[in-house]
Structure 1
């Protein structure tokens, strides 16, 4: 049953008093107050949570739990998001390029993305068309403004439109394509089957947004479960040992895409260096299985 929100505002010092009363060790209150003010208690509370005793509803911290431990989890999570976002950017750009180039060549139509003849669900097509119209209307990109001022066509070519659409919208366009041949061609470029490729784009788009919006990432249990590949072109993992809702599975998806997108990447080295820099991070909470370094995808 709903009830009024009755919590009151706390200053940083009041939060410190509260945390200490619950058993959290804070050795430098001045620094802790600065962190609480500049990061925010609400954001940091997600990193205090793993330090609570069971049952956690009692809000009592484990013996020896410290503010620094929570801060280290926050720092690790921040660096993990930056690492993942950097790699997702490469993958996203490759997906945009592959989709627009492959389909433009296959259909022999530079404007295929706005042509209803290539799509089977008109309701979905209209939704993507409305999104394209809205994005074009508000776009201040030089290449869009130049096209609109220089040409009489109703829409720019597919590769221009793809640059101003969210990754999730590109996935919707891809899955709505009528011709399975071009869908397979695009998916196979990344060593995947069509249903897996569609699923993985959605997952990556969600993870990208989490990274962009500074959301807690490292130990989150994610709602969307991805489609498992039946066969793979590159090394993969033993999925029976992996929780698909945890971050490790998504990290492996990124690793898999990079085999095509950036074969000489240093993602593995950067990941291992980050984990080594924060040895107290519980990788089990991220879904890392014992001996993960020996799985085929990391060889």
Structure 2
């Protein structure tokens, strides 16, 4: 052994327990807020009976997607298939978890990406952290999440946020950096402030790239639902996990198919919201 045995694992473990001891009350507050957020999304999604929800969702998807009739009809068929498999409530729980985690992740990621694009020092600090977040196996996030928040939807959401944030930060940073210098010079010549330049020039020009980050954030959030189920997160991921434990191919396939349908709907919908360059 060239280097001495460094107690990296023990140090990280001690740090996690120290944070839990010193800031556990803040974790409890955060947990309550996140739990309310997830419950609110879930209650809103389950407010209407399935058939009424499918009609309303089809109309909204048609309007939001700039009257894409194929997407609206395909989404309606997919939702009907989910209901016919008896997975409606579990699917709404999954969508609530995905929307909650994506919302929190984007509220952190987009401002961080903007700040990193504006400040080279921040960028060089954030870049290795993003590398670490993207390359660390997602299962590792589950351990501190359980210590801080116990079992249930909240630790699953926290692990999902950590996993889904990096692409949104990177693409927001990239989008702002790719704004043509000429446009910024023209905006400066007209006497715009930094805030005005950001909202009236940089963000509109960078929006396609930022929306690609939003799309990736949502897709990665959905890809974590099965892993998050290992620490108590509900929804279709839990159904897949039960299917694995019981070696029930049919149960696992139906739950997996439900996840695929939701993924396709969310992916196509976010793509339709992306302005064309």
Using structure 1 for the length normalisation, give the TM-score: 0.25
The structure with the larger Rg is: 1
Could you say which structure has the higher helix fraction? 2
Q: Which has the higher contact order (CA 8 A, sep 6+)?
A: 2
